[in-house]
Amino acid sequence: MAKAKLTFMGGIHPYDGKDLSKDKPMKAVLPKGDLVFPLSQHIGAPARPVVAKGDRVLAGQKIGEAAGFVSAAVFSTVSGTVKSIEPRRVVTGDNVMSIVVENDRLYEEVDYAPVRPLEELTKEEIINLVKEAGVVGMGGAGFPTHVKLSPKEPDKIEYVIANCAECEPYLTSDYRRMLEEPDKLIGGLQVILSLFPNAKGILAVEDNKPDCIKLLEEMTSEEPRITVKKLKTKYPQGSERQLIFAVTGRAINSSMLPADVGCIVDNVDTVVAVNRAVREGKPLMNRIVTVTGDAIANPQNFIVRIGTNYHELIEEAGGFCKEPVKIVSGGPMMGFGIFDLDVPTTKTASALLCLSKDEVGEPSACINCGRCVEACPSRLVPTLLSTYSEHYDMEAFEKYDGMECCECGCCSYVCPAKRQLTQAIKSMRKMVLAERKKASAANQK
């Protein structure tokens, strides 16, 4: 194994804003109004509805089934009546086919199938339980977890890394989960390790969370297959490529998967959801959402039932204490600004950040200072790639490794000319991927 460096080249140290909510324990929120369940809350094929308008559903009942291997089931998180199946706006601004459930506020749940001890389950049964529970990557990507846990050569997996870095500013949901429910995180990691007999488990935590590190070290002291790695605090430490390099010294690029270098990486909430699916037989129905920012009266970490309207979360956090100038879904670095709060919480919704000031200024010409190059964790030249993007020069963009960008936002953050480098590169990456898809489809005909 290459030597673990516990950090990576490049990166930045932005204001982290975590003090606003890090000392607020997780608090369960019961939704009041209708719940909206988009059928596409994951990478891959949208789920297929298995209920019809007028049906009564219970919390924990499957309402959308996976439509293929790379897909994920969707479950109702309340009891009530299916009001409609229609396109509804989601946080990205897209209209997505969704199941709308009228909440009867009784919160009646299905009777879950009895669970068997982990030792009695086969690998296929464990992966199937994760699939049937609709578990996806909850760090933002939304990749169906059962697919990630089914690599071509499972015996070559040497590390299962729980991504406990939480490097994104303002977010404290993983921090609270580690402090309050460490047993569920460790339990989930044990479940995943049972699939990979040659693997070690690693809890990768940034060193700005000494209380989490101490607690997890104490709780895993008798676990021969699990260790805690204390990573240097730097953004984007939690990005998959940077995390793998920091923990194992192994490098991957955009054409590789973590499994290609013997790694499986899962976010804290995802590992907890795996634990819930396998040990409790319960589907993915809730997640932790940090509602924070200087415009929020009482920043909190909420246990939110998926499908809950964002307006209700703002109300639960005491509403606005200042007029929000910018509302971001996610964190300030990789989240995106939203224009409407009348959207549902989904499996990948990590935070709602409400700010009274907009730090994004008017862009001006590049001054060739090189700060973006210094900050880029992928060792690219963002100013050059941004220029190619603005000129729609796809060939040059690919030639200079534009597809290696991890869209972390470091370049835009450090740019003194306030150029929107990440946004331009991100747009061009989408165009390249769309072209590749088109070419692939044409070749298959």
Q: Which whole number is the average pLDDT over 188-196?
A: 98
Which residues lie below 8 Å from residue 388, measured CB to CB, with a gap of 6+?
Answer: 394, 396, 397, 400, 402, 428
Q: Is the pLDDT of residue 167 over 70?
A: yes
Are 142 and 241 found together in one domain?
Answer: yes
Does any domain span residue 171?
yes
Are 377 and 271 found together in one domain?
Answer: no
Residue-number span of the structural domain to which 391 is assigned = 371-443
Are 131 and 230 found together in one domain?
Answer: yes
Cis peptide bond upstream of 332, omega within 30:
no
Are 268 and 124 found together in one domain?
Answer: yes
Domain stop point among 228, 263, 280 = 280
Domain stop point among 248, 280, 312 = 280
pLDDT tens for each residue of 350-369: 999 999 998 777 899 999 99
Are 145 and 252 found together in one domain?
Answer: yes
Nearest to 370 by CA among 356, 382, 387, 378: 382
Are 249 and 381 found together in one domain?
Answer: no
* CA diameter of the chain: 64
Q: Is the pLDDT of residue 444 over 90?
A: no
Three-state DSSP state, 230: strand
pTM: 0.94
Amino acid symbol at 55? D
Does any domain span residue 327?
no
Tell me the C-alpha distance between 195 and 124, whole Å: 9
Q: Which whole number is the average pLDDT over 331-356?
A: 93
pLDDT tens for each residue of 365-374: 999 999 999 9
pLDDT tens for each residue of 221-258: 999 999 999 999 999 999 999 999 999 999 999 889 99
Are 239 and 375 found together in one domain?
Answer: no
Domain stop point among 238, 257, 280 = 280
- Is 212 part of any known ligand binding site? no
- Is 167 part of any known ligand binding site? no
Does any domain span residue 249?
yes
Does any domain span residue 328?
no
Residue with tokens 């429910």: 181
- Is 321 part of any known ligand binding site? no
Q: Taking a C-beta distance cutoff of 8 angstroms, is the pair 304, 287 a contact?
A: yes
- Is 354 part of any known ligand binding site? no
The total of structural domains in the chain comes to 2
The domain that holds 271 is classified in CATH as 3.40.50.11540
- Is 372 part of any known ligand binding site? yes
Residue with tokens 């086919």: 97
Q: Taking a C-beta distance cutoff of 8 angstroms, is the pair 311, 342 a contact?
A: yes
Sheet holding 62-65, edge to edge: 48-49, 62-65, 74-75
Does any domain span residue 351?
no
Q: 311-336 burial by CB neighbour count: b if 16+ within 10 A, else e?
A: ebbbebbeeeeeebebbbbbbbbbbe
Are 266 and 402 found together in one domain?
Answer: no
**pLDDT band per the 50, 70, 90 thresholds, residue 4:** low
Give whole-number Cα distances, 438 to 122, 429, 443, in Å.
Answer: 39, 14, 9
As separate numbers, helices (DSSP H) first and strands (DSSP E) second, the chain gives: 13, 17
Does any domain span residue 348?
no
Q: Is the pLDDT of residue 13 over 80?
A: yes
Does any domain span residue 63?
no
Q: 103-142 burial by CB neighbour count: b if 16+ within 10 A, else e?
A: beeeeebbeeeeeeeeeebeeeebbebbbbbbbbbbbbeb
Are 128 and 230 found together in one domain?
Answer: yes
Classify the phi-psi angles of 73: left when phi > 0, otherwise alpha if psi is within -120 to 50, otherwise beta.
Answer: beta
* Average pLDDT of every residue of the chain: 95
- Helical spans, DSSP H, in 204-346: 210-219, 240-248, 268-275, 310-316
Are 134 and 260 found together in one domain?
Answer: yes
Please report the pLDDT score of residue 2 as a whole number. Answer: 53
Are 265 and 387 found together in one domain?
Answer: no
Amino acid symbol at 160? V
- Is 415 part of any known ligand binding site? yes
Tokens of 56: 């009564």
Q: Is the pLDDT of residue 306 over 50?
A: yes
Please report the pLDDT score of residue 1 as a whole number. Answer: 45
Does any domain span residue 404?
yes
Are 269 and 400 found together in one domain?
Answer: no
Q: How, if at all, do strands 62-65 and 48-49 pair? A: antiparallel
pLDDT tens for each residue of 372-404: 999 999 999 999 999 999 999 999 999 999 999
Q: Taking a C-beta distance cutoff of 8 angstroms, is the pair 178, 209 a contact?
A: yes
Tell me the C-alpha distance between 227 and 293, whole Å: 34
Nearest to 369 by CA among 417, 303, 321, 403: 417
